[in-house]
Amino acid sequence: MTLLRKHDSLPGEHSTDHRQETAQRLLDSSARLSYDPELEIDWDAPLVDGKYGMTPEWCSLYGTDLWERMSEDQRITLTEHEAASIAGTGIWFEMILMQMLVRDLYRHDPATPYVQFGLTEIADECRHSIMFARSAQRYGIPSYRPKRWIRETGRLFKAVARGALAYGGTLFAEEILDMMQRDFMRDERVQPITRTVSHVHVVEESRHIRYAREETRRRSARLGRLERAWIRIHLGVSAYFVVTSLVNDQVYAAAGLDVAEAKKAAQENRHYHDKLRQGTRRTVEFLDEVGLIGGPSTLLLRRAHVL
């Protein structure tokens, strides 16, 4: 079930090694298939009784003894709050991404497709951030955001991240959300509002992922040994913060659970760890292929259950 008023297909995928040709293809795709969530999502549609906020298998407690002891109402509430927490982390990183993109595009000719698609992506990310915030509001859930010290650390990352680091870091955030939301949008057990928001994001984010992959590959090819090592470490740190910030501790309190017990169960939940590895597998394989995974950063990636 979907609340979209029009469009129902994903953009086609074509590849090219040439920056401007790739950007032009993505611009053409944007012209054919883009959304304005404010107009095209029915925000007034009622929530459906008994539906989850997201695919329950992506919940941090799914498969644990604690999950088995929870009532169905608690499970539904937890999935609603975890969906809102994931959206809050998405907003946080999209704001970082937009600033990195603006800084990168500032040096290039705005008459080129490369810059014009970059500006198109920024416009998309603005709409996505508003859409994520409204989806949480629709559930009546307050904003969840990463811990303050992590948000402040993000200021340092966006200040120093450029080139392969900026685009490679973007992939970790974009592709795990993409993997999750592909499940959300197809799952009939999930609330229509989550499915629709996920559909919009998957359609438009597929272009952003292509753009980030092309730029990561192009820029990583020019790296020297020391710069590559520096980027590997910072990619590991950024990936760790993104993945470990997806679920805010307070989602457990909202579901009537003991926070300490729930956090311990989530930290030991092998099913959830497997889902995280599944969600980041394509990113890890790609970044390894272009030489951006290795050295001490692998320790952080393992702690985040990415490796």
Q: What is the CATH number of the domain that holds 199?
A: 1.10.620.20
The span from the first CA to the last CA of the chain, in angstroms, equals 35
> Which pLDDT belongs to residue 42?
93
Whether residue 22 lies inside any domain: the answer is: no
User: Which alpha helices (DSSP H) does 187-291 contain, by range?
Assistant: 192-220, 225-244, 250-254, 259-267, 270-289
Whether residue 21 lies inside any domain: the answer is: no
Rounded (5°) CA angle 109-115-121:
160
d(CA 215, CA 118): 11
- Measured in whole angstroms, the distance separating CA 177 from the mean position of its chain's CA atoms is 3
Q: Which two tokens stand for residue 70?
A: 């929870």
Whether residue 111 lies inside any domain: the answer is: yes
> Which pLDDT belongs to residue 154?
84
Task: State the pLDDT confidence band at 4, using cuts at 50, 70 and 90.
Answer: low
Q: At CB < 8 A and 24+ separation, what contacts does 14-19 make?
A: 15/210, 17/214, 19/114, 19/214, 19/215, 19/218
Domain count of the fold of the chain: 1
User: For 211-226, what is the mean pLDDT?
Assistant: 92
Whether residue 35 lies inside any domain: the answer is: no
d(CA 143, CA 58): 20
pLDDT, tens digit, 9 for 90 and up, residues 251-260: 999 999 999 9
Task: State the pLDDT confidence band at 3, using cuts at 50, 70 and 90.
Answer: low
Whether residue 19 lies inside any domain: the answer is: no
Contacts of 98 (CB under 8 A, 6+ apart): 122, 125, 126
pLDDT, tens digit, 9 for 90 and up, residues 98-156: 999 999 999 999 999 999 999 999 999 999 999 999 999 999 998 899 998 988 888 88
Whether residue 77 lies inside any domain: the answer is: yes
In this prediction the pTM is 0.90
Give the mean pLDDT of the chain.
91
pLDDT, tens digit, 9 for 90 and up, residues 143-193: 899 998 988 888 888 787 888 988 998 898 899 999 999 999 999 999 999
CB atoms within 10 A of CB 39: 9
> Which pLDDT belongs to residue 14?
37
Whether residue 83 lies inside any domain: the answer is: yes
113 Rama sector, left if φ>0, alpha if ψ -120 to 50, beta otherwise: alpha
Cα distances (angstroms) measured from residue 109 to each of 28, 42, 115, 119, 152: 19, 38, 7, 12, 32
Quick check: 16 pLDDT over 50?
Answer: no
Whether residue 29 lies inside any domain: the answer is: no
pLDDT, tens digit, 9 for 90 and up, residues 68-95: 999 999 999 999 999 999 999 999 999 9
Quick check: 5 pLDDT over 50?
Answer: no
User: For 190-215, what is the mean pLDDT?
Assistant: 95
Quick check: 211 pLDDT over 50?
Answer: yes
Range of the domain at 185: 51-304
